[in-house]
Amino acid sequence: MHSWRTPAALAALLALASTGSAVQNVSRSGRYLYNADGSRFFIKGVAYQPQGEVIVDPNNPFGEPSTFIDPLANGTACARDLPFLQQLQINAIRAYSVNASLDHDDCMNALSNAGIYTIIDLSLPVNGSINRDQPAWTTNLLDLYIDTINVFNKYNNVLAFNVGNEVINGTDNTVAAAFVKAAARDTRAYLNSIGSSALVGYAAIDGDWIVDLAEYLSCDPSGSNSGSTSIDLWGLNNYEWCGNADPSVYNATNQRFQNYNIPAYFSEFGCAIGGPRPWTEVGTLFTSPMSDIWSGGLGFSYFPASSAAGQFGMVNISADGSTVTTGQDFDNLKTQYTEVSPPNSPSQSSAGSTSFPSCPAENTNLLASTTLPPTPNDAACACLESALSCQFTPDTSNTTSIIGVLINEACSLLGAQGGSCDDISGNGTSGVYGRVSACDPSVELSYVMSEYYEATNRLATSCSFGGNGTVNANTPSGLSASAAASSCLANPSATFTPSAPSGSGAAAPGSSGSSGSSGSKDNGAAGFALNPQAWLGLAVSCAFSLLGGALVLA
Ligand SMILES: *[C@@H]1O[C@H](CO)[C@@H](O)[C@H](O)[C@H]1NC(C)=O
Ligand SMILES: *[C@@H]1O[C@H](CO)[C@@H](O)[C@H](O)[C@H]1NC(C)=O
Ligand SMILES: *[C@@H]1O[C@H](CO)[C@@H](O)[C@H](O)[C@H]1NC(C)=O
Ligand SMILES: *[C@@H]1O[C@H](CO)[C@@H](O)[C@H](O)[C@H]1NC(C)=O
Ligand SMILES: *[C@@H]1O[C@H](CO)[C@@H](O)[C@H](O)[C@H]1NC(C)=O
Ligand SMILES: *[C@@H]1O[C@H](CO)[C@@H](O)[C@H](O)[C@H]1NC(C)=O
Ligand SMILES: *[C@@H]1O[C@H](CO)[C@@H](O)[C@H](O)[C@H]1NC(C)=O
Ligand SMILES: *[C@@H]1O[C@H](CO)[C@@H](O)[C@H](O)[C@H]1NC(C)=O
Ligand SMILES: *[C@@H]1O[C@H](CO)[C@@H](O)[C@H](O)[C@H]1NC(C)=O
Ligand SMILES: *[C@@H]1O[C@H](CO)[C@@H](O)[C@H](O)[C@H]1NC(C)=O
């Protein structure tokens, strides 16, 4: 009756217990997440990102952080924090800004051994993210994303890579969704090509209009139930529950996501209005009916993070970085998380496979076309750059702030000559993308500088741009920028599986082209207007652009 297998099973259990709980492969079925053993997986975690430093500068009109700390690159700091993360009983953290040049082994392995998954944002502050005001999906961003994926691919505890955080932050910039969806498509294709089953996520700011965005990011434009342009995991940064609220505060939100097709969770939660947070929403979030709609959430934030909406930290770190002091918020969340026992239902087999419906029609809440931007093409853009007659050759490596100014200047000079900047512009509402619009902004700048230079009969002074331009002696005689684009970008609307940029760590057979190396065409550009949109009720959400990755100023 007592099988000989029992002691072995017990030993296995004990081994698991003594090493902490080893992480299992988590995958999506239907609209839920499951462990490899078929049990349902809920994200029970915290945001783990020290707040970046905001440097007041005219080139930083929105006061976005100019610096960031990679929270997964310092093994000493992670070892310091790990016991506290374990006290919270979490199984996931979210890191908003990581640096692919750094070594993440110590932190990632320590987290993995403690059964803690990571959700990694691929975007970076200032120019490493899709810019909501002048959205584009370009080689420099794709290469940044791929470099980060390559560095984290070796770890077994990456649950998801986020392709954006709060990029679309109101109904006046939903056009940016087309570029986010293209980023999800290309990131998914790249992950598939390297055999990664990490999920592709997006984290959204809350608002009445976001259901259209959620549906758009998880829809199939081709109407054939394909997930190839879909995210796998919808994150909602939700701050509706303040203090000891009543579960009904979530009624509208639940209703809006009741029939959503993919897994969804609260990628941030924890309203800080009114002092220490009781975190009583946890009990509601992790039980039915919410557990039928949501797969858990991430409390915001382990580290101190302050904004007009309050102080969000659960701990303080001593000035020398050696000690952690927990606050009431920490104790309360620990109590709540310890009591969580979400239902293990529905079963994975009854969850079925995920369906990908047709896309919502454009409307005032969603001005995004189902014609997506192309896959940025490193090789084609490098080919173009080398052939252009007038090249951007800045004196400084700090080009972010000058590219936007120079593009505006070159476009206006070109316009006066009867030319246009259509080739470098993309419109996610009309679904019309200029053939150079997925190249690095520095290549786009060289392109319009060349067009202007050529339009003025190659007058040497037309390529100066205050000392920022140099005539390319290697351009085949008489080759125009436009002809070079036709030749290098023969199929400018193509979508394909991107490969790793050359020079990046990963083996990438067949990869070619150069990695993007310059700034963005926006910062400080004329015609770049502040949007002082007041957001009643959701003002707290704005706080999170203070964090490293919440940044969309490209
Ligand atoms: C994780 O599970 C998914 C779905 O079952 C599977 O496709 C994938 O290969 C698994 N990944 C790993 C690393 O085992
Ligand atoms: C990443 O780290 C490297 C090495 O410390 C540093 O040179 C580089 O500036 C960092 N990148 C970013 C985007 O901060
Ligand atoms: C909220 O939803 C619950 C459960 O679905 C329901 O019982 C309750 O009446 C709703 N409350 C409000 C204020 O709509
Ligand atoms: C790593 O973190 C520890 C603890 O905060 C700190 O003392 C140390 O200076 C950090 N190391 C680096 C390279 O930032
Ligand atoms: C961190 O320190 C600040 C300043 O002393 C204090 O106001 C805040 O309550 C502390 N936070 C925690 C979580 O202890
Ligand atoms: C880059 O240039 C801008 C504008 O000149 C300046 O404000 C900023 O401090 C520079 N950044 C760095 C890292 O040098
Ligand atoms: C951001 O700008 C800096 C130079 O100012 C550049 O080195 C870096 O590659 C840019 N990042 C991206 C993703 O374009
Ligand atoms: C993009 O296209 C839409 C629809 O054709 C148009 O209304 C809008 O003005 C265009 N946007 C820009 C910036 O040209
Ligand atoms: C390059 O362009 C910037 C922006 O217009 C300008 O400030 C700078 O003086 C120009 N020349 C050089 C050599 O950087
Ligand atoms: C959206 O972002 C812009 C900056 O790009 C900011 O000025 C605005 O306040 C943000 N809106 C909300 C609702 O957060």
pLDDT tens-digit profile of 453-473? 999 999 999 999 999 999 999
| R_g (Cα) of the chain, nearest Å | 24
511 or 375: which leads in pLDDT: 375
Catalytic residue ranges: 166, 268
The SS3 call for residue 366 is: strand
Sign for the pseudo-dihedral over CA of 386, 131, 222, 512? positive
Residues with CB under 6 A from ligand 6: 57, 59, 398, 401
Q: Which fold has domain 3-351?
A: TIM Barrel (3.20.20)
* pLDDT band for position 55 (cuts 50, 70, 90): low
**Average of per-residue pLDDT across 77-93:** 98
Rounded Cα distance between 122 and 145, Å, is: 5
* pLDDT band for position 525 (cuts 50, 70, 90): very low
Domain at 378-493: CATH architecture = Up-down Bundle (1.20)
The dihedral over CA atoms of 211, 27, 299, 142, expressed in degrees to the nearest 10, equals: -70
* Closest protein CA for atom 2 of ligand 10: 169
Q: Is 139 in the pocket of ligand 7 (CB under 6 A)?
A: no
Q: Residue 67 CA: which ligand 2 atom is closest? A: 14
Sign for the pseudo-dihedral over CA of 79, 84, 86, 90? negative
Give the distance (Å) from ligand 9 centre to CA of residue 199: 42
pLDDT value, residue 502: 83
pTM for this prediction: 0.90
Rounded Cα distance between 513 and 523, Å, is: 26
Cα-based angle 439, 97, 183 (whole degrees, multiple of 5): 35
Cβ count within 10 A of residue 275? 11
Structural domain boundaries in the chain: 3-351, 378-493
Rounded Cα distance between 361 and 174, Å, is: 13
Q: Which of 166, 182, 108 is nearest to 132 (CA)?
A: 166
- b/e code 518-549 from CB counts within 10 Å (16+ = b): bbbbbbbbeeeeeeeeeeeebebbbbbbbbbb
Give the distance (Å) from ligand 6 centre to CA of residue 365: 36
pLDDT value, residue 22: 78
Asked if the model's pLDDT at residue 20 lies above 60, the reply is: no
Asked if the model's pLDDT at residue 12 lies above 50, the reply is: no
